[in-house]
Amino acid sequence: MAYEPPIKLEVRDLSVWYGSTQALHGVSLDVPERSVLALIGASGSGKSTLLRAMNRIHELTPGTRTEGDVRLDGQSVYGAADPVLVRRHIGMVFQAPNPFPKTIYENVAWGARINGLDGDMDDRVEEALEQAALFSEVKDRLHTSAYGLSGGQQQRLCIARALAVEPALLLMDEPTSALDPRASALIEETVRTLADRYTVVIVTHNMQQARRVSDRTAFMDAGRLVEVGETPQVFEAPREERTRAYVSGQFG
Ligand SMILES: Nc1ncnc2c1ncn2[C@@H]1O[C@H](COP(=O)(O)OP(=O)(O)OP(=O)(O)O)[C@@H](O)[C@H]1O
C-alpha cells in the first residue's frame, strides 16, 4: 500500500456568514502533513473566507458567524477559548507585503519573542531567513529598515517572520499578487521548499501557479467546494464539469 501521510488539518462541514450573506456552505476537506494545498476559484467563490476561517482571523470582521469545525493535529481550532493563541500557531502571509516599521532582524525576531520561544535569537532569525530564501540577500544589512527592501524581498521577509515561530500551518493569501514575475517565481520556489517541513495552504488566482506549487488543489465555486484532489488530477482529469470549465479558462 502506498504511504499515506498523516492528516494535518481537517475542515469539517464549515459554513461562514458575513451578516446575512453566507460565504461558505458546508466545506469539508483534509490537508495532509507537509503538503501544499492550493485554493482556486473565481472572485467571490469563498477562497479567502475558507483560508481565513482556518485560523479564525475572519472573526475580526464584525458580524461573522461560523458553523462546523477545523481541526489542527486533531485539536479543534474552534473549541479553543482564545483565537489569539490559535493565530500564533498558524502563520499567515497576506497579498501585499506588510513588514513592520522595524529592522529586518526585528521583523523576524518579533513573533518568536512574543511567543516566548527560547534558543539563540540570532540563529533563529538566520534560519527563518534561510528558509524564506532571503538570508544571502540581507545578511549584511540585518539591522537596517525592512522598508529598504524590494517588494519581493519584503514578502519573503513576511514569510520568514511567519516561519520564525515554527507555525503548525502556514496560510498564504495570494502572496504574489503584488509582485513582478521574477519575484513571484522566487516565492513559488520558496513555497515548494517549505513543503519539506511545513503544511501550506495557498489561495491563488493564477492557475499556472497552483499547478506549479501545490500537491493538491481545491476548486471553490459560489461558497462551495466543488472538488479537491491531487493537482494533476484536478487540472488534467477533473471529476466535475464545473471544474473542467474553470481550469480550461471558460469562466472566472
Ligand atoms: N467583510 C465582508 N462582508 C460581507 N461580505 C463579504 C466580506 N468578505 C467577503 N464577503 C463575501 O463573501 C463571499 C466570498 O468572498 P471571498 O473574499 O472569500 O472570496 P474569494 O474567492 O477569496 O474572492 P477574491 O478572489 O475576489 O478574493 C463573497 O460573496 C464576498 O462578497
Q: What angle do CA 61, 40, 65 make, to 5 degrees?
A: 25
Q: Is pLDDT at 252 greater than 60 in this prediction?
A: no
Q: Is the pLDDT of residue 249 over 90?
A: no
Q: What is the mean pLDDT of residues 191-211?
A: 95
For the chain, domain boundaries? 7-247
Sorting pLDDT into bands at 50, 70 and 90, what band is 118?
Answer: confident
pLDDT band, residue 117 (cuts 50/70/90) = confident
Determine if ligand 1 sits within 6 Å of the CB of residue 46. yes
Section 240-245 average pLDDT:
96
* CA–CA gap between residue 220 and residue 238 (Å, rounded): 13
Q: Report pLDDT for 87.
A: 87
Closest by Cα among 200, 191, 207 to 246: 207
Asked whether the predicted pLDDT for residue 127 surpasses 80, the reply is yes
Q: Count CA within 13 A, CB hemisphere, residue 219.
A: 24
Q: For the segment 169-193, what is each residue's pLDDT rounded down to a tens digit?
A: 999 999 999 888 998 999 999 999 9
pLDDT of residue 1 exceeding 80: no
Query: How high is the ipTM of this complex?
Result: 0.97
**CB of 68 within 8 A of CB of 16?**
no
Say how far apart CA 166 and CA 209 lie, in whole Å: 25
Q: Is the pLDDT of residue 251 over 70?
A: no
Place of cell 502533513: 33
Cβ–Cβ under 8 Å, residues 40 and 207: yes
65 lines ligand 1 (CB under 6 A): no
- pLDDT band at 39; cut points 50, 70, 90: very high
Mutate to test the pocket of ligand 1, among 15, 21, 57 (most ligand atoms within 8 A of CB): 21
Q: What's the CA-to-centroid distance between 143 and ligand 1, angstroms? A: 38
Q: What is the pLDDT of residues 43-94, one digit of tens each?
A: 999 999 999 999 999 999 999 999 999 999 999 999 977 888 888 889 999 9
- Ligand 1 pocket: which of 43, 49, 60, 174 to mutate (most atoms within 8 A of CB): 49
Would the pLDDT of 119 be above 90? no
Nearest CA to ligand 1 atom 1: 61
Q: In whole angstroms, what is the distance from residue 191 CA to residue 143 CA?
A: 26
Residue 49 CA to ligand 1 centre (angstroms): 6
Task: Pick 7-247's CATH classification: 2.40.30.210, 3.40.50.300, 3.30.70.2610, 3.30.450.20.
Answer: 3.40.50.300
Phi and psi at residue 75, in whole multiples of 5°? -105, 135
**What CA–CA distance (Å, rounded) separates 169 from 224?**
23
